[in-house]
Amino acid sequence: MNSKIISEKEIRFFLGYSGWSEYQLEQEIETESWVVVKNKYASKILEVNPNYFWKNQMVALGGKRLVWANSPENPHQN
């Protein structure tokens, strides 16, 4: 960013850690702990407003996942 090669709108930082044991992710997908959808944003993912991304995705999925659209960022605040 200091070199002006990219702007602050072209980068996002995520904090935290996620890790799985061998085959754990596949098993979680099979039990529908995860929802896998086609990435319709492809190279435009950084243009999506992160403040509404989760909510919009849950609304788009609809059905039993619609309830998650209004869940608070911190579940303890519910």
Percent of the chain past pLDDT 90, that is, above it, reads 17
Whole-Å CA distances, 71 to 4, 8, 67: 38, 28, 7
Output the pTM of the full model. 0.61
Q: Domain map of the chain by residue range?
A: 8-77
Q: Kindly tell me if the per-residue pLDDT of 43 is higher than 90.
A: no
Q: What is the structure's pLDDT at 78?
A: 62
Rg over CA atoms, the chain: 16
Q: What is the structure's pLDDT at 73?
A: 74
Q: What is the structure's pLDDT at 20?
A: 92
